[in-house]
Amino acid sequence: MSGDHHGEAAAISAHVRHVETLLEQRGLVDPQELDRALTAFLAGSSPASGARVVARAWSDEGFRTRLLGDANTALPELGLSMGGGLQEQRLKVVENTDSAHNVVVCTLCSCYPIALLGPSPTWYKSEAYRSRVVRDPRGVLREFGFELAPDLDITVWDASAESRYMVLPRRPGGTEGLDEKQLAALVTRNGLLGVAAV
């Protein structure tokens, strides 16, 4: 998808609604069944779920290793998944360190780990972010009020229909005494996408 993305998106949703109506009229699809599937898909999908995952990774070294190795098999340890009853999407969690920083984008359209984080923010879908973050990540992060140390390596991960990404931010200093709930409260959605420190 490129060009007039919003026009295309509107055309696609109109088309989907039309097909949905036809299927309902012919008794091929139960609207309540559809609602149930959607509700299941979105249950627990919010940035708070991503923050829980991060807080667990900061607190539990074994979980962190499993999460970075294969996020899809680690998420169910927290009762989370990338499927929510529908077909599961691949999630790769990329870790920020004191020498490497990660940022997430979908340059083609707006692929995003919706099943885990809920709907994507508007800026994530904007042409400006999608086209510029690859060419000038430091400049774009600066506009988010996030100044990266000059010696940090930046990797920009381009999401696709097959692969979605989430950032594991660095654990802030001075948080040794915090429990998982308190740690989760420090994590923002922007931090999960790499446009904020945490």
Residues 101-130 vs Fe ion: string with x where CB under 5 A?
A: -----x-xx-x-------------------
Q: Is 45 a catalytic residue?
A: no
DSSP string, 119-154: SPPHHHH-HHHHHHHHH-HHHHHHHTT-PPPTT-EE
> Alpha-carbon distance 189 to 101, whole Å?
16
Residue with smaller CB distance to Fe ion, 35 or 127: 127
The neighbouring-strand residues paired with 156 are: 103
For the question of residue 110 being annotated catalytic, the response is yes
Could you tell me the smallest distance in angstroms from the CB atom of residue 111 to Fe ion? 3
Number of residues that bind Fe ion (CB under 5 A): 4
CB of 22 to Fe ion, least distance (A): 27
Residue 92 in 3-state DSSP?
Answer: strand
- Give yes or no: 160 in active site: no
The amino acid occupying position 96 is N
Nearer to Fe ion (CB atom), residue 108 or residue 148: 108
Contacts of 165 (CB under 8 A, 6+ apart): 91, 92, 93, 94, 102, 104, 113, 157, 159
Burial of residue 66 (CB within 10 Å: 0-12, 13-18, 19+) is middle
In the bound complex, what is the minimum distance in angstroms from residue 186's beta carbon to Fe ion?
A: 29
- For residue 9, state whether it binds Fe ion (rule: CB under 5 A): no
Pick the closer one to Fe ion by CB: 107 or 155.
107
Q: Which of 106, 131, 160, 163 is catalytic?
A: 106
Residues in contact with Fe ion by the rule CB under 5 A: 106, 108-109, 111
